[in-house]
Structure 1
């Protein structure tokens, strides 16, 4: 079925504005599909474009910041929280950082064409499994304009064609950024449609993107739990579930308590709004009252509010503790709040994690090797940390360079998604006339 016939049949009963929005999404997806079928760029061509794009962003930063100011003004007029305004805001320094991300991607190895494995069969067939692009990559994300450029850079280097559906709150910023990227592509004899920004006036355009089977190969949501759940449950296109993080840190009786305390505080306070922030601290019941109190008062001194079963902490002489409800064990706070639970050893800790984890990052502080082995064997998460902070779950920190997100699913990719995770594979089988008996 042609795209136009799909639009006609699907648009029955829609308003003119809604039909036009759907038509735009499908038309852009069709153009992206055509670009994805062009002969692939060489690694040198990709890197040249990435470096030129980085230079262009810096050179045109005044244009970017002017557009960003419009988004900030509109956000304040709508009563947007200042923490979200900060995520939206661009500065000369942040633009430099975004450009630096493109330069970093240019320095990374090109995954396309890598041989994952290969063999020569007894019958003489030569078999190679090689990395290939995923194709048309839909990105649905919230109010961080840097994601626009990150997605472009990672998609270009991995041979994919991105369709970007950012939020309305960053509409002017994203439009300016994509316009600059398209100008660079055109200057290097590449189609402007190598990166495209989708309409964001209504939430319906997300549904148009994530149900465009045959045009879009994969969709990746990046944002809060509501956005991710809406995309994953509503998509008919394959979707990669990324990163809500109800991350736990278990402090075992064998832990170096000073070290474990530093790790818990770092995981909670370094950046409380990110998905790798520690949201629950589990304390072994065998820890002394002094050690338990040390962990918790250090968190309080850092400005963190404790949520706990008040009876469990009754002997620690702590003030300002909020009585926990069931929601606290499930919550990804994104703020200076942390849930506290006293557990009876590593088995109880893993039971609690198993019940409430989102599969992102789980951590333990312990010196007993038997305890750490039990924890790593029985905790199911994309990343399991031993005597280190949950904050390390990050593509750059893992040595991958930039990342498109952190996958919490189990198919295709799990954990920080760098360039190799933005590829699929195909088998190339070379023979000399063999026929199968």
Structure 2
């Protein structure tokens, strides 16, 4: 039975405040250290596990890892919860740790939704560096899920509640109880009780997945047994970088051998590639071109690039944009559709959509197809039924050309230009095409 509020331990040294959490493996209490007037956390094994055949092994592991954590606390790490005491109250072993105020990552995401990449990454790096220290001490946390990562008000993250002896699965617990944080543990941990560092890599990366998407990742067991796929985080949150997306997918590889084999290796995937300094000019070669009486410079000379990389302009695709709009302008003029100003406005809007929101562009093009079809149909002097059929066929063909030319030209331009410049180039090209098509038809008609 759990201890009740106000219960005293160790002759009144500690006073129980309340139960913070209770799972299949242990109970966590909030308590007060009377002498220090300090709030602490006391973790104990669940009492009913004493009837389990593996209980003695479980307790041995609990004590062993508690002592290792206590040694880690002799040189405190800012992102690892400190261990204060290890004692036995009656038959129950107790581990006393610092109380970390704040909210855990589960609570933060529940309150705010997906967190910005720039905000969550420093916290994950801090926990990753803490796990490096844990691994060097011969431990594996095995429970680095969002509920065990506390976020302080100063933006610092702290790793708490080590999954002590969690690889020893009591026979009295169901498999459902073991996988209490489904989605954050690799299947080899749940099926075999793995103690490899790659377990912590998976757990921490799954926590990062949750932080940037606001959604729990697909369970590793479902991926292993049911061939369920892990949805890439960028598919859920397109704002995250490609580098982060790839680091998450690599760290959550289903098979342990396919993940980075150490926490350091995975953390390196989060670092931006560093530019290599330009090569130094070899002094030996400089002697050949320097007069014999001239003094060589005392410091090496850096070779600096003399020109900027050329801007890539997709002329072919821009010509395609121009021609497709020229054809449209000619078509509108041929059927005497008094909508050239509307057409220019739509061309400018489409250029904006391609530069800023590709999905909007496609929707705009479909709507524009209907606009052209309606314009041609109501302005035509031929029979209505034939006008509608012909107009739709031509409109959809032109729309396809627009969509392809705009999308590809937009992508190419964005590689060398800002979104504003890309918009101006596309808007000018499309508007010019419409105007030339309209003007061409007027000149042609005047000539005949």
TM (norm. structure 2) is 0.21
Greater share of residues in helix:
2
Greater share of residues in strand:
1
Which structure has the larger Rg over C-alpha atoms? 2
TM (norm. structure 1) is 0.21
